């Protein structure tokens, strides 16, 4: 393996508005026995990745890909090919889907190598959830379609969270709530959950109304999706009947809004689920002494591990694949994909999404390579 130029997109962990590029060289001797070098072709970037950064300390997202002190490499989901390998069973040219840094390359130490893929066994990743450490061989992945890589990068990790959220609420009989209120209703994870709640409602014993809260700019788009029963602005919370048993699913991370929801529903708030932080700049910590159910952070890997034990790997992926197929057909009606090549495009989209200015109808696919041929 000749010397390879590696480019990283680093952010300041204390001030996410600050970013920088780091270029370094990796030579042929850098790979130890059992390691492989993956070339990251492209990756998706959404508000979900901002959540990873905001929750980097609390949820250990900064631990996946070590960076210089005070800096961070935000995890993203994408596709990579093996450029060089000293690991049996992981051969050059093989393509993998998984969680990568915002970089051009990643060195992995494959363990549990199977036809379906491998787990990165590098020491710093071992304590972290396997959901983020596994790399799926595209030729053996039941969800993979060569012509729909963009949708897989954009929606698969988000939809997996949507799938697990929907399953978590069904598993808990919706906490006996007759209404579910989803904030940041235009976010792709919220849309995925609302789609599943709407799709499978007729097969469930518990009856519930699905309400989306969103900004005025996104209201028409969210209403047009058809998976919310009602769509309201953030200033219209009091229009909801406070006497109806309600559960909230907070994708926004807006502490002031969360406080208003708790105050309005009070004792009728049966469950308060915290998922994302798409409005990260408004989080400001959780309000104190909230009435109603205490807010609970939803950790998708915990629900995934529960179901993997109960359903087995094949059963889990079969359920996910069936819903995924239907959801991608649904998204084809409203989602457009934009591609960006090179560091300037990555920086522009990063700032746009960080500022909350990205359109919910647009999905960004990025690469730190300046051309499809792979040059930096």
CATH of the domain at 236: 3.40.50.720
**Contact yes or no for 31/1 (Cβ under 8 A):** yes
- CA distances for 306 relative to 301, 316, 333, angstroms: 9, 10, 33
Within-domain flag for 114: yes
Give 252-265 pLDDT, tens digit per residue: 888 889 999 999 99
For residue 287, is pLDDT > 90? no
| Full residue range of the structural domain in which residue 277 is found | 155-301
Q: What does the block give as tokens for 132?
A: 């983020």
205 CB burial (10 A radius; 0-12, 13-18, 19+): exposed
CATH of residue 344's domain is: 3.90.180.10
Within-domain flag for 77: yes
Domain match, 119 and 172 both: no
DSSP helix/strand/coil, 254 = coil
For residue 152, is pLDDT > 50? yes
Count up the domains in the chain and report the number: 2
126-130, 242-246, 283-287, 334-338: segment of lowest average pLDDT: 283-287
Question: Would you mind telling me the total number of residues written for the chain in this entry?
Answer: 376
Residue 231 sits at φ, ψ, to 5 deg, of -125, 125
For residue 162, name the pLDDT band (cuts at 50, 70, 90): very high
Structure-model confidence comparison of residues 336 and 373, the more confident one: 336
Within-domain flag for 359: yes
Within-domain flag for 90: yes
Domain match, 233 and 117 both: no
Within-domain flag for 372: no
Domain match, 198 and 81 both: no
**pLDDT in the model for residue 317:** 84
Within-domain flag for 110: yes
Domain match, 96 and 204 both: no
136 CB burial (10 A radius; 0-12, 13-18, 19+): buried
Task: Please state, in angstroms and rounded to a whole number, the distance separating the CA atoms of residues 327 and 155.
Answer: 9
Domain match, 297 and 349 both: no
Q: Which position has the token pair 């190598």?
A: 113
Within-domain flag for 328: no
**pLDDT in the model for residue 285:** 61
Domain match, 267 and 351 both: no
Q: Which position has the token pair 């993979």?
A: 144
- Strand spans (E) along the chain: 4-12, 15-26, 36-45, 71-72, 76-85, 95-100, 105-108, 110-114, 117-120, 134-137, 179-182, 209-214, 230-233, 246-250, 269-274, 295-297, 336-341, 362-367
Domain match, 110 and 209 both: no
Within-domain flag for 34: yes
Task: Please state, in angstroms and rounded to a whole number, the distance separating the CA atoms of residues 137 and 94.
Answer: 7
């Amino acid at each position: 393996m000749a010397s390879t130029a590696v480019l990283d997109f680093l952010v300041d962990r204390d001030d996410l508005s600050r970013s920088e590029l780091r270029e370094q060289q990796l030579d042929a001797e850098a790979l130890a026995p059992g390691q492989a070098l993956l070339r990251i072709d492209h990756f998706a970037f959404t508000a979900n990745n901002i959540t990873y950064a905001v929750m980097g300390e609390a949820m250990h997202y900064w631990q996946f890909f070590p960076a210089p002190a005070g800096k961070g490499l935000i995890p993203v989901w994408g596709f990579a090919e093996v450029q060089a390998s000293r690991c049996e069973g992981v051969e050059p040219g093989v393509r993998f889907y998984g969680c990568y840094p915002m970089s051009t390359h990643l060195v992995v130490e494959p363990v549990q190598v199977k036809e379906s893929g491998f787990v990165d066994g590098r020491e710093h990743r071992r304590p972290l959830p396997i959901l983020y450490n596994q790399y799926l061989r595209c030729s053996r992945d039941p969800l993979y379609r060569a012509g729909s890589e963009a949708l897989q990068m954009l929606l698969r990790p988000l939809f997996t969270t949507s799938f697990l959220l929907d399953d978590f609420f069904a598993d808990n009989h919706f906490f006996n709530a007759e209404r579910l209120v989803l904030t940041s209703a235009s976010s792709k994870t919220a849309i995925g959950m609302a789609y599943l709640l709407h799709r499978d409602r007729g097969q469930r014993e518990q009856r519930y109304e699905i309400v989306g809260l969103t900004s005025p700019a996104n209201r028409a788009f969210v209403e047009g999706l058809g998976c919310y029963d009602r769509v309201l602005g953030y200033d219209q919370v009091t229009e909801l009947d406070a006497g109806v048993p309600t559960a909230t699913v907070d994708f926004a991370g807006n502490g002031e809004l969360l406080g208003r929801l708790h105050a309005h529903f009070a004792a009728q708030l049966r469950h308060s689920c915290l998922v994302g932080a798409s409005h990260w700049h408004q989080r400001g910590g959780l309000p104190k002494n909230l009435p109603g159910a205490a807010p609970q952070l939803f950790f998708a890997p915990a629900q995934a591990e529960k179901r993997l034990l109960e359903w087995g790997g094949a059963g889990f992926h079969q359920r996910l694949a069936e819903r995924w197929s239907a959801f991608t057909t649904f998204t084809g009606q409203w989602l457009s994909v934009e591609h960006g090549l090179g560091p300037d495009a990555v920086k522009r989209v990063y700032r746009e999404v960080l500022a909350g200015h990205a359109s919910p109808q647009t999905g960004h696919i990025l690469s730190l390579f300046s051309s499809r041929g792979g040059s930096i």
